[in-house]
Amino acid sequence: MAGHNKRIPTQHVVGFVLSIALTLLATWAALGSNLSTMWIISGIMILAVIQAGIQLFMFMHVVEFESQNGHVPWNMMFHGAVLAAIIVAGSLFTMSFGFTHNHDGDHQHEQHENDGQEQHDNGEHEGH
Amino acid sequence: MSSEELKTGPLEYRTQEGQMTIMGFWIFLAAEIVLFSTLFATYAVLFGRTADATPPAELFEPGIVLIMTFLLLTSSFTCGLAIHEMRRGSVKGLRIWMIITLLLGLGFLGFEIYEFVHYAHEGATLQSSAYWSAFFTLAGTHGLHVTLGIGWVILLLIQVTQRGLTPRTSRKFFVIGLYWHFLDVVWIFIFTSVYLIGMVV
């Protein structure tokens, strides 16, 4: 390891370049590509998770031999991550599942299934 | 790990107190993940509930959001460099990179305040709809964390000038480093799930 004695912190530079590349890729996917909304959302969320991983491993020294790897409470971090996933996914599942908010007609297959409902729910009449 | 000071390795890990404090800070970060997850869940559930207010797709602009993202990303990088310099024993390097981090953080905050004021002018405020309440709470909580971090860095810079690099001050800098990187992690998710998805849908 002993990366802290080097003049140039290679790990940090690599992490920084990768973060910028991932951010630009996500922006391009969202604004420049012709992928369907579903693919864009899942794609950029995966990119975000990868980028968070880069921060953790390249910048935050999650794995570090100098502390005999005793400085990160893995069970606590895992607990936090699982709770976060349950809260976000669970809230979406109970509150929004099967309810679409598409404002302007992008042609997804769900839309055909609840077309009638869609008209009713559409636009500014939501959530009053 | 004994309670006596080790003679090798990074200063912040040499005492047991240092190691335990860093571990405690990771537990705090785990709790912060859960705190932000509740705000993300609220935002996701209320997405689209804009009532009569302007929808986000009309207000979000890629330019300013990308500037904010790169400011925070770069500040996270320079903060990492500051800790790197600290481990090489250079107070000067630590101080310079930390001040750059501070300035980038202030720049981010400036843009965020400008953005919020701009939205308020366009009729999107905390009160205007469920969606905008969730948005301002989520982004505002992150902005508040950045503000606290900036104050914290300023205090630590004063302390390191007075006391120099000791196991205690380097442990404190290591902890603020973790905090700052964590803020960037949260911002990555705000950038992706709030701004990018808000501009797509």
- Supply the ipTM of this predicted assembly: 0.84
Integer-rounded Cα radius of gyration of chain A: 21
Pick out chain B residues at pLDDT < 70: 1-8
In the block, residue with structure tokens 């606290």: B148
Domain membership flag for residue B134: yes
Contact A92 B37 (CB under 8 A): no
Domain membership flag for residue B49: no
Alpha-carbon dihedral sign for residues A54, A15, B174, B4? positive
The one-character DSSP state at B104 is H
Cα(B139)–Cα(B134) distance, rounded to whole angstroms?
A: 9
Domain membership flag for residue B1: no
Q: Is the CB of residue B7 less than 8 Å away from at least one CB of chain A?
A: no
Q: Which of residues 164-193 of B touch A (CB under 8 A)?
A: 177-178, 181-182, 184-185, 188-189, 191-193
Q: Is B128 helix (H, G, I), strand (E, B) or coil?
A: coil
Task: Please tell me the total count of domains within chain B.
Answer: 1
Q: What is the rounded average pLDDT for all residues in chain A? A: 75
Domain membership flag for residue B11: no
What backbone torsions phi and psi does residue B6 show, to the nearest 5 degrees?
Answer: -75, 160
Domain membership flag for residue B70: yes
Mean pLDDT of A32-38: 86
Cα(B74)–Cα(A15) distance, rounded to whole angstroms?
A: 11
CATH number of the domain within which B187 lies: 1.20.120.80
Q: How many CB pairs under 8 A join A and B?
A: 176
Domain membership flag for residue B86: yes
Neighboring chain B residues of A58 at a CB cutoff of 8 Å: 80
Domain containing B78 equals 29-40+60-200
Q: Which of residues 48-87 of A touch B (CB under 8 A)?
A: 48, 51-52, 55-56, 58-60, 66-68, 70-73, 76-77, 79-81, 83-85, 87
Torsion of CA B183, B186, B191, B193, to 10 degrees: -170
Tens digit of each residue's pLDDT (9 = 90 or more) over A106-126: 444 444 444 444 444 444 444
Q: Model-level pTM greater than 0.80?
A: yes
Tens digit of each residue's pLDDT (9 = 90 or more) over A74-111: 888 889 999 999 999 999 998 887 766 555 444 444 44
